[in-house]
Structure 1
Amino acid sequence: MSRPLTVRQQHVFDFIVKTMNDYGYPPTRAEIAKALGFRSPNAAEEHLRALERKGAIRIIRHTSRGIRLPNQEGADAPDTAPAANDSTDTGTSGLPIIGEVAAGSPILAAEHIDRYCPLPAEYFTPKADYLLRVRGLSMKDIGILEGDLLAVHRTERVRDGQIVVARLEDEVTVKRFKRDGHQVTLLAENSDFAPIEIDLRTQQLDIEGVGVGVIRGGSGQALG
């Protein structure tokens, strides 16, 4: 960091670090504005640019969550991802793109892999293990839309508030995770969809990973 931060800039920086530690990905401008009481995301953008000038962060242009810390793994990744429809690799390098998932079979089984996207796993933080093609609009209010590719980090460890890929009775779904004792709630980000309630004493729930970014379907815009 080349120059000291102002008090307000420090608050923004601390919120970025906390969000990345808590959820595995940086906040959007709107989330920064809401958390710190700015009038608009534009005010957050001004503070982000000041932080970048002082060497506290690196901004990846044209992305919703394009904020990187200088010492962050993958900070030198490309600014934009290859287009989802134009990045087909004839080999097996890059991130596997998972389409329909058959009941009872591993999510990374060969029959589920549509193709590979030549995007480095380290583009996302934590690194992505696969890209899951989104079906439906249950998460549309946070910008995860039909046809998008959700970058997923494989882990069974999950915290409240994280976006997870969950397997419930052979159905794979993307939802926000919340747990209270033996009770788990999988929350949609769309008021048209009711929460899914799971009692871990009687129902099986497997976490296939946590969402660490989104590639907008067909546009090549990565929201990492």
Structure 2
Amino acid sequence: MASLLTERQQQVLDLIRQALANTGFPPTRAEIAQTLGFKSANAAEDHLRALAKKGVIELTAGASRGIKLTDAARLFDSEAELDQNEYQAKESKFLLTAAGLGQLILPVIGRVAAGNPVLAVENIEREINVDPALFTQTPDYLLRVKGLSMRDAGILDGDLLAVKRASEARNGQIVVARINDEVTVKRYNKRGSKIELLPENPDFEPIVISADQDFSLEGIATGLIRTSALH
């Protein structure tokens, strides 16, 4: 059974939840340090490692936003500290909830054929059952990520990105966008009439949308499922 959290660990966990609710993705170490008043990002890292040791988050090495909540995170919220009896009651409730997972059936989209709608039958690899509680908003499909352009947001090659269909996005949100016949995952940024799609990996250049390109938003990322083992 996971240990109870310290006050500081609870604050870090709540901040991660808040960032996921607002943007769909976790904060960086620097953002945690700045928000909670830590002297350095190293202090944030120490708290994250403690949370990982207690089993409420998973960390992806080398990714600035490589933080994922585990099922055990649902045992902890911003309520007052629980005593042992309250904790055991809450754990029992969680285990009963876990027994009913798999109520949401989502299509997995692989390579999107040129000119085809994302949800066209020929693009669907398969359908899988997932726990709807994993996502801040209920997604419409899972997109299989290709490449490492969003590595530092914790999105790796082969991951399944949960996507809610949308034609508009706020600055800073991670989106699925179509440029001509290509579909890409990037961070959205618009200033006036200028639209940029920003990578989260310094090895890749931002994409600036020009007037002669056929551009549309396919959806907004609401979560992530890792299909490969952590190393």
TM-score normalised per structure 1: 0.68
* 2:46 corresponds to: 42
What are the residue-to-residue correspondences of 1:53-202 with 2, within 5 Å? 60-62=56-58, 64-66=67-69, 78=98, 94-199=105-210, 201-202=211-212
Give CA deviations for 1:78-104 in whole Å, capped at 9, x if unaligned. Answer: 49x99xxxxxxxxxx711110010111
Kindly state the Cα deviation for residue 147 of structure 1 after the two structures are TM-superposed.
Answer: 1.1
Unaligned stretches of 5+ in structure 1? 1-5, 50-58, 71-75, 83-92
Shift of 1:18: 5.0
- Cα-to-partner distance string for 1:101-150 (whole Å, 9 max, x where unaligned): 01111101111000111113443111121111111111112221111111
3-state DSSP of counterpart to 1:41: helix
1:6-28 CA-partner distances (Å, limit 9, x unpaired): 8x799758745653453145547
Where does residue 226 of structure 2 map in the other structure?
Answer: 216
* Whole-Å separation in 1 of the counterparts to 2:9 and 2:57: 20
Give the AA of the match of 2:221: G
Aligned partners of 1:119 and 1:9: how far apart in 2?
28
Q: Taking every aligned residue pair, what percent have the same amino acid on both sides?
A: 47
Supply the AA of the counterpart residue of 1:100: R
Cα separation, 1, equivalents of 2:128 and 2:30 = 29
Give 5+ residue unaligned stretches, structure 2.
1-6, 60-66, 78-93
2:22 corresponds in structure 1 to 22
Where 2:108 maps in the other structure, the secondary structure is: strand
Q: What's the C-alpha RMSD, in Å, of the aligned pairs?
A: 3.7
Closer, same or farther in 2 for the Cα pair 1:78/1:109, shift >3 Å? Answer: farther
One-letter amino acid of the counterpart of residue 217, structure 1: T
Q: Distance in 2 between matches of 1:207 and 1:184?
A: 11
| Distance change in 2, residues 1:139/1:23 (3 Å) | same
Aligned-pair CA distance for 1:188: 0.8
Which structure features the higher share of helix residues? 2
C-alpha contact (below 8 Å) 1:121/1:129 kept by paired residues: no
**Does the 8 Å CA contact 1:162/1:177 hold for their aligned counterparts?**
yes
Q: Is the 8 A contact 2:134 2:223 kept in 1?
A: no
